[in-house]
């Protein structure tokens, strides 16, 4: 009689007697000695301890885990310290990521709505700590905002003034800028990047011009020592000259129509002659326009400085044969100083 469970004609293991386990042919039997059992247990325990140490201490010898890094943008009026994020003044933003050694790594775009609502920005890509984030905001068509390429660094050119007819440069937009170095390890909250106004502003008044001459015969030029910025936010080397028109008011003063933006000078101010304001008159039949006056200092013997986030109000008084007098007043952003009349 054949045992149940095997088809006729097939061959299988012989039927086992009651209470005995059938023997499977051709399968090796491994017998662990007490020594091997203890060794295997020690290896398993050590592996668990090492894994726990990697997770708990994030040791450098462990395999790196990609980190989820987030930043949030905060817009501040540097002159007053007021948080102006929700005003929307900063427009859209571009975030540029640089490795710990300063090499370009990635770029991220953030629209104005996300900035206004304090929405965290996900810096995707499995970043390591100590990277630098450079943020430029409100960059419209008033300048060239460079897109970095492989091999570019934090010191590479980020912003350049546009060229205009006659070799002059354009006035840039109301740019905002901020920069941080990310912490070595991501924290529980997004890291905050504070942006402030990057450019300086200027308003120029010339007193003593002949108001019977059409205003469009006169113009002003401003020479500045920099024509842009790098990704670190420093003014870039390269002089620029901007040309501005003016108009006469009811008192006969010739002034620029409102304020205009300029690349700011460095934190230590400007060197002698780096910022120069010239007044010209153009007339038909002349080979060259006539230079009427030139201002290179602030009236106190110091070079004209262009601080970021401030308005430089400049008065050039031609006088009445008594020589040229120059005065400056620094006011908050876009606030025009009213010079007294006499």
Q: What is the DSSP string of 69-121?
A: EEEEEEEEETTTTEE-GGGTTT--EEEEEE-TTSBEEEEEEE-HHHHHTTPPE
Cα separation, 114 vs 88, whole angstroms = 10
CB neighbour burial string for 226-235, b if at least 16 within 10 angstroms, e if fewer? bbbbbbbbeb
Residues in the chain: 342
Fold: same for 67-149+156-197 and 200-332? yes
Q: Which fold has domain 200-332?
A: Immunoglobulin-like (2.60.40)
Cα separation, 233 vs 207, whole angstroms = 36
Q: Which fold has domain 67-149+156-197?
A: Immunoglobulin-like (2.60.40)
Confidence of residue 283 (pLDDT cuts 50, 70, 90): confident
Q: Would you list the domain boundaries of the chain?
A: 67-149+156-197, 200-332
Query: Which of 53-57, 63-67, 176-180 shows the lowest mean pLDDT across its residues?
Result: 53-57
169 or 65, greater pLDDT: 169
Half-sphere exposure of 29 (CA within 13 A, CB side): 4
299 or 142, greater pLDDT: 142
Q: pLDDT tens, 161-211? A: 999 999 999 999 999 999 999 999 989 999 999 999 999 999 999 999 999
Greatest mean pLDDT range, 16-30, 166-180, 259-273, 276-290: 166-180
Q: What is the mean pLDDT of the chain?
A: 85
Q: pLDDT tens, 201-249? A: 999 999 999 999 999 999 999 999 999 999 999 999 899 999 999 999 9
Q: Is 185 in a helix, a strand, or coil?
A: coil
Torsion of CA 203, 207, 209, 213, to 10 degrees: 60
Looking at residue 68, its pLDDT comes to: 83
Q: What is the pTM of this model?
A: 0.79
Q: Which DSSP category does 326 fall into?
A: E
Handedness of CA 199, 300, 273, 341 (dihedral sign): positive
Q: Which residues contact 313 (CB under 8 A, 6 or more apart)?
A: 202, 203, 205, 328, 329, 330, 331, 336, 337, 339
């Amino acid at each position: 009689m054949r045992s149940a469970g095997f088809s006729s004609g097939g061959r299988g293991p012989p039927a086992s007697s009651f209470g005995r386990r059938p023997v499977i042919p051709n399968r090796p039997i491994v017998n662990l000695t007490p020594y091997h059992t203890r060794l295997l247990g020690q290896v398993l325990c050590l592996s668990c301890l090492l894994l726990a140490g990697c997770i708990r201490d994030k040791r450098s010898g462990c395999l790196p885990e990609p980190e989820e890094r987030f930043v949030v943008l905060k817009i501040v009026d540097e002159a007053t310290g007021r948080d102006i994020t929700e005003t929307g003044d900063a427009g859209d933003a571009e975030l540029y990521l640089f490795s710990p050694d300063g090499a370009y790594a990635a770029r991220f775009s953030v629209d104005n709505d996300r900035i206004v609502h304090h929405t965290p920005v996900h810096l995707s890509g499995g970043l390591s700590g100590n990277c630098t984030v450079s943020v430029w905001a409100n960059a419209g068509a008033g300048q060239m905002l460079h897109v970095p390429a492989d091999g570019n660094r934090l010191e590479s050119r980020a912003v350049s003034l546009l060229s205009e007819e006659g070799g002059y440069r354009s006035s840039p937009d109301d740019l905002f800028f901020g920069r941080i170095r990310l912490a070595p390890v991501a924290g529980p909250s997004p890291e905050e990047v504070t942006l402030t106004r990057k450019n300086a502003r200027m308003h120029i008044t010339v007193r003593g011009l002949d108001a019977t001459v059409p205003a469009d015969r006169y113009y002003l030029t401003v020479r500045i020592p920099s024509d842009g910025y790098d990704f670190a936010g420093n003014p870039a080397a390269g002089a620029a000259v901007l040309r501005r028109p003016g108009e006469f008011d009811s008192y006969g003063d010739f002034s620029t129509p409102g304020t205009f933006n300029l690349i700011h000078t460095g934190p230590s101010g400007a060197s002698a002659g780096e910022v120069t304001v010239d007044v010209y008159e153009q007339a038909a039949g002349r080979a060259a326009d006539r230079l009427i006056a030139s201002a290179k200092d602030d009236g106190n013997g110091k070079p004209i400085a262009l601080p970021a986030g401030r308005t430089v109000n400049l008065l050039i008084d031609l006088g009445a044969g008594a020589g040229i007098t120059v005065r400056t007043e620094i006011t908050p952003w876009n606030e025009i100083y009213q010079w007294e009349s006499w």
